[in-house]
Chain A
Amino acid sequence: MTSSKTIVLRSSDGATFEVDEAVALHSLMIKHRIETGGADSTTIDVPEVTGNTLSKVIEYCKKHVEAPNSDDLKSFDTDFVKVDQAVLCHLAKASYYMNIKGLLDLSSKTIADMFKGKTVEQIRETFHIKNDFTPEEEEELRKENSWNLFV
């Protein structure tokens, strides 16, 4: 009988999560750490990710590893990203650092969909981004863009 090995993942704020190795390996970053880590690699630090986000990432990996062919995988994914913006952005970053392509694509695409059809001002407001163009620079670029040159 095969014993399922478990791995402990430790977030930036010290929270620990015990997960099946198979689930942890869904992250190629963790897979690499395990493969190159030597004998005593049962606790893996993930300093780029906080506990809250790591917990969600693990939830994603669990579902995709344990039930990859389930009919409700698609609706799981759809519901998974129905979170507020901040969480979504954290998920995208975490999936990038942890090299989980499926989650990176899912979260990136969801963020991209939030940009679509919006004006520049709306995007800035939604994501709290400061405009650091001078009025002249912005005007010049608007001409290049909104003069339907690249549209």
Chain B
Amino acid sequence: MGYSFPEEVLEHVFSFISLHTDRNAVSLVCKSWYEIERWCRRRIFIGNCYAVSPGIVIRRFPEVRSVELKGKPHFADFNLVPDGWGGYFYPWICEMARAYPWLEEIRLKRMVITDESLELISKSFKNFKVLVLSSCEGFSIDGLAAIAANCRNLRELDLRESEVEDLSGHWLSHFPDSCTSLQSLNMSCLLSEVSFSALVRLIARSPNLKTLRLNRAVPLEKLSTLLHRAPQLVELGTGAYSAEIRQDLLSNLTEAFAKCKELEGLSGFWDVVPFYLPAFYSVCSRLTSLNLSYATIQSPDVTKIITQCPNLQRLSVLDYIEDTGLDALSLSCKELRELRVFPSDPFVADANVALTEQGLVSVSEGCSKLQSVLYFCRQMSNSALTTIAKNRPNLTCFRLCILEPRAPDYQTLEPLDHGFGAIVDHCKQLQRLSLSGLLTDRVFEYIGNRAKKLEMLSIAFAGDSDLGLHFVLSGCESLRKLEIRDCPFGDKALLANVSKLETMRSLWMSSCSVSLGACKWLSQKMPRLNVEVIDEQGDLDSRPDSCHVEKLYVYRTVAGPRLDMPSFVRTMNQNPAYRR
């Protein structure tokens, strides 16, 4: 017999185990541990909202306090998932409102949430504290007003990158005067003005406010007023960073920033007027996080900032930084862990911005703690990629986006197979990889053989044949998410690796060469997969099995086929009687 613990002791032990993988392991040890664990699990994370049903979750975990859900696949960010595809929060909130009266936190990503749902949240949970809506849509200011008005203990309201219908514009005033619990407010995605006086009053009565991200509509002239009320801020997102050139305004702003002794993160910076940049120089030495991805400022101004930030760990910036700015970054910011460089003008062939592969090579040389890279550029070479790989074997995330599809090594005109091969060869802890440029099946052979820790792979306009896909599916042991667009991958690789698909969260393939017949066969063979065909051309029923599907989304599930699909989405194994 094992060590017999009283239930309460085991429960107490489990309260120190928070990682989902660890909780899952513990729950499988034996029946009594399963029972104890499920009653005391307080946080659940569901990576695909269609992989399980609300009923199953609630039945197993009756005392949850925090729920995190993800809906649409990642390629929705690139407008590849048609409107109306799904990802509705409503069925979840209906059941959770009844089952989890003590729910405190809801975090959603790429889901559709209505005002009705927001109202239900605001009225169902007496102790509701945290609402994070990341890249969500379907709601308006009215829903936010309900949250503000009814959630008495709200600590965090974060709307990052969500699409909000701004109908009335006035919702901040719905926070009652008695609400003083706010610690984090991110309204950067809101398009219309908010009531400034309501905002000031809210901030003034929130002594624990640590994160404040304003929207573009908050003018620079008013920023110092807000900062004076909240000198304890740790993270600030400014509004528009522009105003008429006025010395007194600059002085006020400088003084206000100087009072913020705890500030570590800055973002916002729409419409920057460089004259006002020095206002925040006093906080630079403390900055660990800087997001200048909306700041259309040129390299000298960017460089001036980052050379004053020796503690910088995360930087997002536009390609205006250019190679010279990245050189400066590599010399000044030795603590850098994450770099994201976005294109200022992605749709123009020659953007006249001196950012090349050299900038990234520079950073890889100088910043020894660099782990995560997202880099948009217009040219790349195998030798640069190899240098980067050798410099930074500790990379865990490498996303390279060469803007022109199928662009070869600009020096040798060869495919970039060897370069990416070097990346997966040297960076043994690589978890996430996005490919671009001219690539043959060979790069997939390298990836399949070497990228043993890879969990997420994004492929676009690459490969020659099914062999490429086969290498990935048969080789990448840790693969959880695979998303592919515009590649010559067809049925063969898919059907040769069907059981692999049950070990992954999801597979997305669009504008490839997968046939309707293969989709049907796949779903028959693997009843635990939802094989969704997304086809906006209409009337799949009359198409021959040999025709290629537009988009395919395959994911494992214990919930069976979903019942909320629009007409342009079909689950292949669904009984025709249930189709709407």
Bound-complex Cα distance A119 to B242 (A): 55
Bound-complex Cα distance A46 to B528 (A): 54
Interface membership of A5, Cβ < 8 A: no
Q: Smallest Cβ distance from A146 to chain B, in angstroms?
A: 7
Given A149-B51, A151-B45, A92-B34 contact (CB < 8 Å): no
Which residues of B sit under 8 angstroms from A141, Cβ to Cβ? Answer: 27-28, 34
CB nearest to A95 among chain B residues: B9
Number of A-B residue pairs with CB-CB distance less than 8 Å in the complex they form = 114
Q: Which of B16, B34, B46 has the most CB of A within 10 A?
A: B16
Which residues of B sit under 8 angstroms from A108, Cβ to Cβ? Answer: 9, 12-13, 15-16
Which residues of A sit under 8 angstroms from B556, Cβ to Cβ? Answer: 147
**Could you say which of B17-25, B184-192, B367-375 contacts chain A?**
B17-25
Q: Smallest Cβ distance from A79 to chain B, in angstroms?
A: 19
**Could you say which of A14-22, A24-32, A126-134 contacts chain B?**
A126-134
Number of B positions contacting A (CB below 8 A): 43
CB nearest to A146 among chain B residues: B24
Interface membership of B580, Cβ < 8 A: no
CB nearest to A104 among chain B residues: B12
Interface membership of A13, Cβ < 8 A: no
**Could you say which of A34-42, A50-58, A68-76, A110-118 contacts chain B?**
A110-118
Bound-complex Cα distance A92 to B7 (A): 12
| B13–A112 touching, CB < 8 Å | yes
Interface membership of B26, Cβ < 8 A: yes
Interface membership of B8, Cβ < 8 A: yes
**B6, B31, B33, B46: the one within 8 Å of A150 (CB):** B46
Bound-complex Cα distance A96 to B13 (A): 11
Bound-complex Cα distance A44 to B275 (A): 76
| A111–B13 touching, CB < 8 Å | yes
| A150–B44 touching, CB < 8 Å | yes
Which residues of B sit under 8 angstroms from A96, Cβ to Cβ? Answer: 6, 8-9, 12
Which residues of A sit under 8 angstroms from B17, Cβ to Cβ? Answer: 112, 115-116
CB contact list, A89-118 vs B, under 8 A: 89, 92-93, 96, 104-105, 108-109, 111-113, 115-118
Which residues of A sit under 8 angstroms from B21, Cβ to Cβ? Answer: 151
Given A93-B6, A147-B51, A151-B45, A128-B1 contact (CB < 8 Å): yes
CB nearest to B61 among chain A residues: A150
Which residues of A sit under 8 angstroms from B9, Cβ to Cβ? Answer: 92-93, 96, 104, 108
CB nearest to A144 among chain B residues: B558
Given A117-B22, A128-B1, A151-B45, A143-B29 contact (CB < 8 Å): no
Interface membership of B52, Cβ < 8 A: yes
CB nearest to A96 among chain B residues: B9
Bound-complex Cα distance A141 to B31 (A): 11
Interface membership of A2, Cβ < 8 A: no
**B16, B20, B28: the one within 8 Å of A151 (CB):** B20
Q: Smallest Cβ distance from A87 to chain B, in angstroms?
A: 11
Bound-complex Cα distance A118 to B25 (A): 7
Given A96-B9, A117-B22, A150-B46, A129-B28 contact (CB < 8 Å): no
Bound-complex Cα distance A143 to B30 (A): 16
**B3, B14, B25, B30: the one within 8 Å of A89 (CB):** B3
**A86, A119, A149: the one within 8 Å of B558 (CB):** A149
CB nearest to A129 among chain B residues: B2
Interface membership of A123, Cβ < 8 A: yes
Interface membership of A78, Cβ < 8 A: no
Interface membership of B231, Cβ < 8 A: no
Bound-complex Cα distance A129 to B48 (A): 33
Which residues of A sit under 8 angstroms from B28, Cβ to Cβ? Answer: 120, 133, 138, 141-142, 145
Which residues of A sit under 8 angstroms from B29, Cβ to Cβ? Answer: 120, 123-124, 127, 129, 131
**B1, B25, B30, B502: the one within 8 Å of A115 (CB):** B25
Interface membership of A148, Cβ < 8 A: yes
Bound-complex Cα distance A95 to B224 (A): 53
Bound-complex Cα distance A120 to B528 (A): 24
Bound-complex Cα distance A119 to B22 (A): 8
Bound-complex Cα distance A85 to B8 (A): 19
Which residues of A sit under 8 angstroms from B174, Cβ to Cβ? Answer: none
| B47–A148 touching, CB < 8 Å | yes
| B558–A116 touching, CB < 8 Å | no
**A105, A113, A119, A133: the one within 8 Å of B30 (CB):** A133
| A120–B25 touching, CB < 8 Å | yes
| B47–A149 touching, CB < 8 Å | yes
Which residues of A sit under 8 angstroms from B33, Cβ to Cβ? Answer: 129
Which residues of A sit under 8 angstroms from B45, Cβ to Cβ? Answer: 150-151
Bound-complex Cα distance A127 to B247 (A): 70
Which residues of A sit under 8 angstroms from B56, Cβ to Cβ? Answer: 144
Which residues of A sit under 8 angstroms from B60, Cβ to Cβ? Answer: 144
**A92, A128, A143, A145: the one within 8 Å of B5 (CB):** A92
Which residues of B sit under 8 angstroms from A145, Cβ to Cβ? Answer: 24, 27-28
Which residues of B sit under 8 angstroms from A123, Cβ to Cβ? Answer: 25-26, 29
| B30–A131 touching, CB < 8 Å | yes
**B30, B46, B480: the one within 8 Å of A129 (CB):** B30
Bound-complex Cα distance A133 to B12 (A): 23
Q: Smallest Cβ distance from A47 to chain B, in angstroms?
A: 14
| B2–A150 touching, CB < 8 Å | no
Interface membership of B505, Cβ < 8 A: yes
Which residues of B sit under 8 angstroms from A85, Cβ to Cβ? Answer: 3
Q: Smallest Cβ distance from B528 to chain A, in angstroms?
A: 8
Q: Smallest Cβ distance from B423 to chain A, in angstroms?
A: 25
Given A116-B22, A123-B25, A123-B26, A86-B13 contact (CB < 8 Å): no
Binding site for B on A (CB under 8 A): 85-86, 89, 92-93, 96, 104-105, 108-109, 111-113, 115-120, 123-124, 127-133, 138, 141-151
By Cβ-Cβ distance, the 10 closest A-B pairs, closest first, are A112-B16, A145-B24, A129-B2, A128-B2, A151-B20, A120-B28, A108-B13, A89-B3, A108-B12, A109-B16
9 other contacts beyond A116-B19, A118-B25, A123-B26, with CB at 8 A cut-off? A92-B5, A112-B16, A117-B22, A120-B28, A120-B29, A132-B31, A144-B558, A147-B502, A148-B505
- Please list 7 pairs of residues, one from A and one from B, whose beta carbons are closer than 8 Å in the complex, sorted by A's number: A92-B12, A111-B13, A112-B17, A115-B25, A118-B25, A141-B28, A141-B34
